[in-house]
Amino acid sequence: HCCICYLLHNPLYMLSFQNPFYIAKEMSDLLIQSNKIQLGIAGAKQAENASLAIQLFYMWQQLRHNASKNMTEYIPKAASSMEEIPQLQVSELDDATIKALSSCVWPGRAQTIHRTGLTYYLDGAHTKESMQVCVQWFQQAVHQDTQHNKKHVRILLFNTTSDRDVGSLLACLTQCHFDA
């Protein structure tokens, strides 16, 4: 078993599991632009998620013994201390990966549905961090949409499970200025 993550809040905790542990670095803007990648899911966070998905795929390939010699050399050995945690960087992409990143869809994640006089912004954020990312995406999407249409109604539909802190999730949304 191994763990690959994007952002570390407590790397020492992760090392305590004594499993291989890696950090996936965000894909560079240059890599995205040079490959003309239009990520299928909107939002700035998706470059991080795409990098993480690619690294997980590389690791899965290696663990399944289907990796090419290049891939085996690509993934470094696991760390035994915080200073040694390997950082994985996507440096090149093949055509299949570029197509997969562009065609990826996740209904309900950073999804915008336009109707006459009404726009729905859908996101299944369920943690404080994901709600903050949702707010960032929402504000950017609204800004782009209102440049084309001055009349804009924003409706918030909110659902959560009983084990979530509703107050902290809703607090993130106050800066969004919903109409209803």
Question: Which single residue is written with the structure tokens 């607090």?
Answer: 171
At residue 15, the pLDDT reads 62
Question: Is 6's pLDDT higher than 90?
Answer: no
Question: Which single residue is written with the structure tokens 């249409």?
Answer: 149
CB-based burial, 38-72: b 16+ in 10 Å, e otherwise: ebbbbbebbbbbbbbbbbeebbebbeeeebeeeee
Helices vs strands, H then E, count in the chain: 7, 5
Summarize the chain as % helix, strand, coil (round to 5).
45, 10, 45
Q: In this structure, how many other beta carbons lie within 10 angstroms of the beta carbon of residue 130? A: 16
Q: Which two tokens stand for residue 15?
A: 């090392």
Question: Is 8's pLDDT higher than 60?
Answer: no
At residue 173, the pLDDT reads 92
Work out the burial of residue 164: count CB atoms within 10 Å of its CB; fewer than 13 is exposed, 13-18 middle, 19 or more buried. middle
Identify the H or E element spanning 112: strand 111-115
Residue-averaged pLDDT of the chain: 81
At residue 72, the pLDDT reads 46
Q: Which two tokens stand for residue 168?
A: 């902290």
Percent of the chain residues past pLDDT 90, beyond the cut: 20
Cβ–Cβ < 8 Å for 155, 180 = yes
Higher pLDDT, 34 or 74: 34
Task: State pLDDT tens for residues 89-136.
Answer: 888 899 999 999 999 988 999 998 888 877 788 999 999 989 999 999
Question: Is 28's pLDDT higher than 80?
Answer: yes
Cα distance between residue 159 and residue 132, in whole Å? 16
Domain ranges of the chain: 3-103, 111-176
Q: Which two tokens stand for residue 124?
A: 């299944």
Find the length of the chain.
180
At residue 19, the pLDDT reads 66
